[in-house]
């Protein structure tokens, strides 16, 4: 019996079977051999630093404003009070100054009744010296004519201690400077302090030294600008006691 004719192979006979040749070609090999490129480096962001710098600047500004406000509470910005408009003091080179001692005539004026500090401590008033004539002499350690005449005042004071009162006034200087001058000139009569110049302003003192002569009832009788010798001082006191 003749063999049956062979059936032609179907081109679909490979369907359903793995065909390794299809995946082992050059395309797969090339895909496997190609390296995957590394991701590009990411640039660091500067935003955190910018934000941090902004915060620091704002904090510094706030701190400066707060410090300024606190400082303004302790700084006195109020206008200074005007000083007394007293004329400037002038020191005399000779024994007598030709110009008037006061800007107004103080003759007849009664001495201020308020208390004054004593150079040696405590306070007193001019009422203490009422009942006898009184000599009031303004001086300062920076006034050469004052220093020159003080020994003469001390000599006359010792001669008339029982009949005439003597008071020196340390004008616009420290207690230490006043005491040093008293020790230097060896005066023993009472010394008052006028550190602000209020008494000198009340009496219109414009020349240093200045001497006032006061009656037993406390009224100003006369005044002399400039330094006095012992002889001149005795003559003025004699006029006062007439």
Reported as a single tens digit per residue, the pLDDT across 213-240 is 999 999 999 999 999 999 999 999 999 8
DSSP 129: G
pTM of the model: 0.60
Q: How far is CA 126 from CA 11, 131, 143, 166, 217, in A?
A: 149, 11, 25, 11, 10
Question: Encoding tokens for residue 120?
Answer: 């040696």
Which range of 1-10, 16-25, 195-204 scores highest in mean pLDDT? It is: 195-204
Question: Encoding tokens for residue 113?
Answer: 């009744």
Q: Tens digits of per-residue pLDDT, 159-206?
A: 999 999 999 999 999 999 999 999 999 999 999 999 999 999 999 898
Say if residue 140's pLDDT is above 50: yes
All domains of the chain in start order, with CATH: 129-240 (3.40.30.10)
């Amino acid at each position: 019996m003749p063999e049956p004719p062979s059936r032609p192979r179907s081109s679909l006979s490979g369907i359903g079977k793995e065909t390794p040749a299809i995946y082992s070609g050059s395309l797969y090999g090339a895909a496997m051999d190609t390296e995957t490129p590394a991701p590009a480096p990411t640039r660091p962001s500067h935003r955190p630093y910018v934000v941090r710098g902004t915060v620091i600047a704002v904090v510094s500004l706030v701190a400066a404003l707060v410090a300024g406000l606190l400082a303004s509470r302790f700084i006195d910005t109020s206008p200074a009070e005007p000083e007394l408009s007293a004329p400037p003091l002038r020191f005399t080179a000779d024994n007598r100054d030709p110009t008037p001692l006061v800007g107004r005539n103080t003759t007849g004026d009664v001495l201020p009744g308020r208390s004054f500090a004593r150079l040696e401590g405590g306070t007193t008033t001019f009422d203490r010296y009422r009942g006898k004539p009184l000599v009031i002499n303004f001086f300062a350690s920076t006034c050469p004519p004052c220093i020159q005449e003080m020994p003469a005042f001390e000599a006359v004071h010792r001669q008339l201690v029982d009949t005439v009162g003597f008071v020196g006034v340390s004008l616009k200087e420290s207690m230490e400077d006043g005491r040093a001058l008293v020790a230097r000139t060896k005066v023993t009569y009472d010394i008052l302090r006028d550190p602000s110049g209020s008494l000198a302003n009340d009496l219109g003192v414009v020349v240093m030294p200045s001497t006032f002569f006061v009656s037993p009832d406390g009224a100003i009788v006369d005044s002399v600008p400039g330094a006095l010798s012992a002889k001149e001082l005795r003559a003025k006191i004699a006029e006062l006691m007439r």
